[in-house]
Structure 1
Amino acid sequence: GGLAYEGLNNACSQPNNLLIILNDNDMSIDSNVGGIKDYLVKMTTSSKYNKMRNRVYQSFKSKNLISEEKKNIVLRFNNSIKSLITQQQNMFEGFNIRYFGPVDGHDLPGLIRVLHNIRDMKGPRLLHIKTVKGKGFKPAEKAATIWHAPGLFDKETGERIVRKRIDQPQLYQDVFGHTLVELAEENQKIVGITPAMPTGCSMTYMMQKLPDRAFDVGIAEAHAVTFSAGLAKEG
């Protein structure tokens, strides 16, 4: 959420050698990374490229062709060219954090090579790693939400073991979910807000019945609170 962006903003406010690992395990099936992007990853993370990059800068500086102030202008120009080539804007480099990726998080030899190459670089860096949630276990790959906390299951077949519920009370989250819908139907001012937990808190019932009054703000708990306060203030 927003706190993460505040952290990124703070990370570039003082000199440091921070290495940020962004584990991107989006549940959707993405297209393969293009050849140009693969080439740029290999080039920009190679030690030879970065040594040459620093030597060019030092050479310009020694001849008074570039200053620290102009260096930032050159870096911004470099980032703009990189964005043009890859056909995408890079918010991280907007924070003056050097961005590398995306790389395949399941290609261990390749990942080790990239980490080795960027390990000793100066300044804050961010490595964007693409992974698949539940990788290696087909049922989990196909239904990542269910398999986030599946309970008992057969590890060979992937079949979930459902115990018979005999005289068991309704789950607390289901009571909450159904009650929220009942109250919202009686009171038009009631809305539901969840930080990426519609299934866990059973707010899915409200999303299905009153979709225009149910909001999932993602993993941004702090925003969920201020969003709620803003809605409450407006009545």
Structure 2
Amino acid sequence: MAGRWLPELKSFGAYFPSSTRKAEAAKKYQTEDFFNQVESKEYVEDALLFYLEKAKAAFPEKDCSSPEKVIELLHGQLAAKSEQLVRLNATWQTLSLVRAARELIANDIEQYLDNLNKLLSGQEQKVTLLKSAKAEWKKYRASESLIYSLFSWLPAVRSKRQYQIQLFLEDKLGALIAGNQWSDPETIERNIDGLLNSAEREQTTYRQQIDSTHEIVLKEQQVAQEWQRLALDLGHGGRRGTELLTGR
């Protein structure tokens, strides 16, 4: 309240210098002369008027007709600010927890998400390819010559049939079946389903990881914005609020 709500108040302390320094010290500090002055009826009357004028300026829409009413207003404001500080601290604690969770995921969250999206895109292409291959395999089986089915016990027919199946698989699945010898036409669809199920599981996993990461990033942004709003209400907005938030 120094220099605000009481007249001629220069500091919160008192200084009692030697007589030779008293005049100079009185320019900056409360000296013995100040206390002699304020302990008078005239000063109290002037101070009361000064105090109430300052109160009216601070609370223009409130009743500031007496010190008691002003004190009540001040206490209410202090209580409100105290509550804001409690919320500010709680929000900071939440922000710290969210940031810790985000840092556990990756130091560079944007690069992490970029990598996940690339992996997801690869799995989506794989799922599309396998679904298409499964449909094409069904068409292949439906249009396969009955001769291959009836006479596959003959070595020449069996060899020809397996060769055509292998060409089909290489054309439709390529590297997805590298190292696999799928020669039995009765199990090929099941094998494709196995690859498809595995690809869909990985696809789901990547999507869940991306979604959960986005949720944490969004949560951090929301909590940071709430902290900045509370800090602004307490007079720490703009650059100062950003410095407090980022530690820079």
TM range (shorter): under 0.3
Q: Which has the higher contact order (CA 8 A, sep 6+)?
A: 1
Q: Which has the larger radius of gyration?
A: 2
Q: Which has the higher strand share?
A: 1
User: TM (normalized to structure 1)?
Assistant: 0.24
Structure showing the higher helix proportion among its residues? 2
